[in-house]
Amino acid sequence: MPRALMLHDEAPRCRIADLAPSDLPHRAVSVDIDYSDLNYKDALAVTGKGKIVRDYPFVPGIDFAGTVRESHHEQYASGDRVILTGWGVGERYWGGYAETMNVDAEWLVPCPGPLSTRKAMLLGTAGLTAMLCVVRLEEARIAPGARVLVTGASGGVGSWAVSILHHLGYEVHAVTGKTEQRAWLKALGAHAIHDRADYEAEPRPLEKGRWAGAIDTVGGRTLANVLAQMDYDGRVAAVGLAGGTALSTTVMPFILRGVSLLGTDSVMIPFDRRRAAWQRLSALPNGLFERMAVDEISLAQIEERAETMLTGKLHGRVLIDPRR
């Protein structure tokens, strides 16, 4: 019987349950999950601090990688290695915090040859999203060598963005609130580190232009400050809300400097774009994975890590082994 982390709408919210196969959703592909991970949205779902989950009981986990156990869809066969991210899994549909889950074939991406399922979830939604942000900047003609700012740099999306941008030859500047992680961010490839507090101050309409590109995982005042610091023709991939959902700014960066705000989403991005992103991620050298900070935990440890994640105190990636 597969074990899972089940959320309930009465205390205790998080319970480890043994599921009968008949408890699992009736969907075409049954996957034995090797790894899942913890993302900001998972932390909101697990703690109940964000309105992510509406139907209970519920298995959270917005992504996983594993091996097909049984398939009733022509695209997949038993033994295939697969990745799932997004599509509302872990929000509306039962997700990856389980030993086995049944899902729709359309939600899956084949795990590219060179990538183990462990490495796939070391990246997870965070790595995929970082790559999608890089692609947004590339498509806006921000080329290697350019100065790019990354906010929330020690988080999952942020740290992968720093690593990938450095690997591709950009001059990466990292904004972080964690003085203790400065050395680690430098080891990932950050050229310079900037203090988060400087980006939480009341933003001015325009400041001296400093960045050709930016990847913002924080939103709120941080994003408003980033916009004010963009060079002429600067491009900002806006992807997160760790610091707030409101955006109070002026039109000045847009109308005087031609700055563009590039919204970036990983949840509903079409199959071809996500498969292309996974192909690029699978070609990243081993060194990037070795330098990533990893905290590997069991299903029973998720609740505590989720609480900590929302305080902004974690860094790097939290990998979940459901069989641990």
Ligand X SMILES: NC(=O)c1ccc[n+]([C@@H]2O[C@H](COP(=O)([O-])OP(=O)(O)OC[C@H]3O[C@@H](n4cnc5c(N)ncnc54)[C@H](OP(=O)(O)O)[C@@H]3O)[C@@H](O)[C@H]2O)c1
Q: Which residues are at the interface with ligand X (CB under 6 A)?
A: 39-41, 125-126, 129, 152-158, 176-178, 196, 217-218, 239-243, 264-267, 309, 312, 314
Parallel, antiparallel, or unpaired: how do β-strands 260-263 and 230-238 relate?
A: parallel
Q: How far is the CB of 68 from ligand X (least distance, A)?
A: 25
Q: How far is the CB of 21 from ligand X (least distance, A)?
A: 31
Helix, strand, coil abundance in the chain, percent, nearest 5: 35, 25, 40
Q: How far is the CB of 38 from ligand X (least distance, A)?
A: 8
The DSSP string of 9-66 is SSSS-EEEEEPPGGGS---SEEEEEEEEE--HHHHHHHHT-STT--SSSB---SEEEE
Helices first, then strands: H and E counts in the chain: 9, 15
**Whether the bond into 12 is cis, omega within 30 of 0:** yes
23 vs 307, which CB is nearer to ligand X? 307
Q: Which two tokens stand for residue 162?
A: 């720093």
Residue type at position 246:
A
The runs of H, that is alpha helices, within the chain are 40-47, 117-139, 156-168, 182-188, 220-228, 252-257, 271-282, 286-291, 302-310
Q: How far is the CB of 271 from ligand X (least distance, A)?
A: 15
Q: How far is the CB of 36 from ligand X (least distance, A)?
A: 13
| Residues ≥6 apart with Cβ < 8 Å to 293 | 159, 184, 315, 316, 317
2 vs 90, which CB is nearer to ligand X? 90
Nearest by Cα to 35 from 79, 71, 72, 85: 85
Q: How far is the CB of 262 from ligand X (least distance, A)?
A: 11
102 vs 266, which CB is nearer to ligand X? 266
33 vs 126, which CB is nearer to ligand X? 126
30 vs 85, which CB is nearer to ligand X? 85
Q: How far is the CB of 168 from ligand X (least distance, A)?
A: 19
66 vs 243, which CB is nearer to ligand X? 243
33 vs 123, which CB is nearer to ligand X? 123
